[in-house]
Amino acid sequence: MILNIMHRPDRAERRGLFELEQEYAHANGIRTTILMTAESLADPAQVALAKEHAAEFGDEIGLSFHGLTHRSIVDLIGYGQEALWLLSLVHKRAVIEHLAREFEDSFGFAPTSLASYHLDASTMRLVRQIMPQVRAAVAGCFEEGVRVFHGCNHSWYLFNEGMPWGPWYPSSSHTLRPARDADDWCGIVAVPHLMRDMVLSYEGRNDFWASHPPNVMRGMGYEGEECPYDRNLIDMFRWQEQFNGGYSYYNSFVSTAWLAEHHAIDDRPEVAQSLYRQQLEYLGELKRSGNVQDMTLTGFADWYRDHRPIGSTEAFFAKELLYGSGKHYFWYVDANWRVLLDATQGGGIGDLRPYVGEVAVDTGPESPALCYGTYPYLIQSQHRTGMPNHSSDGARSTALVTIAGEVYDLGEYPTRIARVDRGPQATVVEFEPVAVGDGAVATIATTVELHRNGAIVYRRKLVACDDGEIEVCERVKLAPGITEYPQPLAGVTLGVVDEAPTEIDYRYDGRRLATSSSGARAYARFPSVSTRVELEPADGRRWTARAEEGHLFSPYVTLSMTTKLSMTTKLSMTTKPSDGQESALCVRLSRM
C-alpha cells in the first residue's frame, strides 16, 4: 500500500503542534508533505522549519489553499472565507497568483503540489495557467456532502459528492470525473483529502469515519486512548490490493487545529495527539515490514502516472467495520461511471454516477451551479428513498420475483459477496444465493458483471424452486439529482423498442409503455446529465419491456424487463443448481 502523510501548518501560535506531528511522522520513518497556508507562509519560523525538514528528512513542501481568512487575503479581495472554489474567477486568480508569489518568495522555488478541500474545474484551469509546474493536488474531499451538511448544522458548504474514493486523473470539464483519455485530462494527478469508511460513505456521514483520528473522535469511535477502528480502516484499504492488481493507496491529512482544543471534540487535545501518534506508529510498523511504501505527494503523482494509466479501473470491496452488522458493499469506478452494488438490497445498484455524460461544472458566483460541485447521480438510494419507506420506493435497481402468484422484492433479501473476479474487460461480483418467498420458495443466485464499455449485466440463476417456475422483473428506477430533493424532469424522454421505438416526453402523468419480444428494450434519455440508459436482453430470451413515467409525488423514471425462469429438470435429491435456467439483463449507459 502506498502512503501519503500530509501536514498543514497554520497560525503561528500552533507552531508547536506542527513540530509535534512532524516529530511523530519522522520518529516512525515516514516522510511528509508539508502544505503551507497563507498563515504559515506569514510565519518565518514555520517557513524555516519546513525548509529544515525538507533538507533533513526528504519532506516535500507544497501549497495549501485552505484558510483564506488571513489578513493578506482579506486585504487582497476585500473579505475572507474558507473556500477558494466558491470565489469569483477574478478572486480565484488573484488568490492563486498571490499565494504562488508568497510561496516562491519564501522558498525560492515553485510548488509542485497543492491542496484544497475541493478544486473545481475553473480553479484547475487557473492553476495550470499560473502554476504549470504543479503535478499533484488534493482536489476533492470525498465527503458525501448532503448528509455532512446536515450533520454540520447546515453550515459546511462543501458539496462534492460523486468523485472517486482514491487517486484519479481529473477531467478538464469536471474535476470529480475521471478523464476519458489524455486529451480529456486536466494535467494534474488528484488524490482525495482523506480516505473514508466505504460503508458509511454510502449509508451514513463519512466525515467522522476517515483516516483522521480526531475525526473519529467526533464520532465517539474510541475509548480512552484506544481506537482499534483506525487500524481496522488501514487494514481494510490494504486488503483492496487483492482486487486492484496489488495496488492500494492511503493517506492521512491532519492539520494542527485538530491537535489543539477543538469545538467539535469533547475530549482533551492530548487524546487526539495520542491517537494520531498511534496511527503513525502502526503505519511505521507496516512500512518496516514491507507492507507500506511512503511517498511525498508529488512523488506519488509521478509513480501513479508511470503505473496507473488513464482509463484504469478501480474497485473497493467494503465490509462494515463499526457496528458488526456484516454488511457488504462493492464500489467500482472507471471513465464511464462510479457504481455501488448494495448487498443489503439484494445486490442492487445503490449509487450510480454517469460519468459517460461528461457533465461540465464550475463553481462560483458566475456559475449556474453556484456552490454545487457534485457530480450528479442517476441512482442514489440514500438520498432518494431506496427501499419502500413512508410511501413508495425510490431510486435503486432490483428484481421483482413472482412465485405462485406472489410478488417478492429481491431488495428485501440481504446477501453477501461470495466472489470477486477482476478481469481485463469486466469485473464479476457473485453474491451468495438467497431463498425468496413465504409459502413456495425459490432460491436465486445473482452475479453482476461490470463491463468497461458502460454495461452492467445482471445474471439471475434459478438454483431451486418449489413451484417449478418464477417470473423475474428486472427493474431500474432513476432520477437525476445532486441532493435529496427532486430536480425537474422536463426534457426527459422514455420509450420501448421492438422493431421500432415508441416513446413519450416526461410530463408527470404516470403513463406506461410496453412491448414484448426477444429483442424488446426499454430506455430513457436524461438531457441534464447527457446520458441514455437502456435495458436490453443479454441472453436471447423473450422479455417484456416497460417504461413508466412517474408523477409529482413519485418523480422517477422506471424501466423494467420481465421474463420467466424454470427448472429444466424435475427436482429430486440429485438435482444440481445447474438444472435451473438463468437470465441475463444488460443495463447500458451511453452519452446522448
CA neighbor of 203 nearest in space, from 19, 109, 342, 399: 342
Q: Mean pLDDT over residues 100-120, rounded?
A: 98
Look at residue 494 and tell me whether its pLDDT is greater than 80.
yes
Q: How would you classify the pairing of strands 2-8 and 33-36?
A: parallel
DSSP 3-state of 191: strand
Look at residue 36 and tell me whether its pLDDT is greater than 70.
yes
Q: Specify the pLDDT at position 155.
A: 86
Three-state SS string over 153-189 comes to CCCCCCECCCCCCCCECEECCCCCCECCCHHHECCCE
Question: What pTM value is reported for the model?
Answer: 0.96
H/E element, 124: helix 121-130
Q: Specify the pLDDT at position 568.
A: 77
| pLDDT per position as a tens digit, 319-330 | 999 989 999 999
Look at residue 370 and tell me whether its pLDDT is greater than 90.
yes
* Structural domains for the chain: 2-319 (3.20.20.510), 375-591 (2.70.98)
Q: Specify the pLDDT at position 576.
A: 54
| pLDDT per position as a tens digit, 198-226 | 999 998 888 899 999 999 999 999 999 99
Look at residue 390 and tell me whether its pLDDT is greater than 90.
no
C-alpha 494/C-alpha 549 separation (Å) is 8
| pLDDT per position as a tens digit, 416-463 | 999 999 999 999 999 999 999 998 899 999 999 999 999 999 999 999
Least confident span in 145-149, 266-270, 403-407: 145-149
| pLDDT per position as a tens digit, 245-288 | 999 999 999 999 999 999 889 999 999 999 999 999 999 999 99
User: Where does 452-566 show beta strands of DSSP type E?
Assistant: 455-465, 469-478, 493-497, 501-505, 512-517, 521-526, 531-537, 543-551, 554-566
Q: Specify the pLDDT at position 391.
A: 74
CA 403 to chain CA centroid, Å, is 37
CA neighbor of 354 nearest in space, from 556, 176, 488: 176
Helix 89-107 vs helix 44-57: crossing angle, to nearest 10: 70
Q: What is the residue whose three cell numbers read 504543479?
A: 134
Residue 131: how many other CB atoms lie within 10 Å: 20
| pLDDT per position as a tens digit, 319-359 | 999 989 999 999 999 999 999 999 999 999 999 999 999 99
C-alpha 110/C-alpha 116 separation (Å) is 17
C-alpha 544/C-alpha 404 separation (Å) is 19
CA neighbor of 517 nearest in space, from 532, 534, 537: 537
C-alpha 480/C-alpha 524 separation (Å) is 12
Q: What is the residue whose three cell numbers read 482536489?
A: 139
DSSP 3-state of 457: strand
C-alpha 506/C-alpha 12 separation (Å) is 58
User: Could you tell me which residues come within 8 angstroms of residue 173 by beta carbon, excluding any fewer than 6 positions away?
Assistant: 121, 184, 358, 359, 360, 361
Q: Specify the pLDDT at position 495.
A: 98
How confident is the prediction for the chain on average, in pLDDT?
95
Beta bridge partners of 408: 401
Q: Specify the pLDDT at position 150.
A: 83
CA neighbor of 365 nearest in space, from 85, 34, 56, 22: 85
Look at residue 380 and tell me whether its pLDDT is greater than 70.
yes
C-alpha 337/C-alpha 556 separation (Å) is 20
Do residues 507 and 525 lie in contact, with contact meaning Cβ atoms separated by under 8 Å?
Answer: no
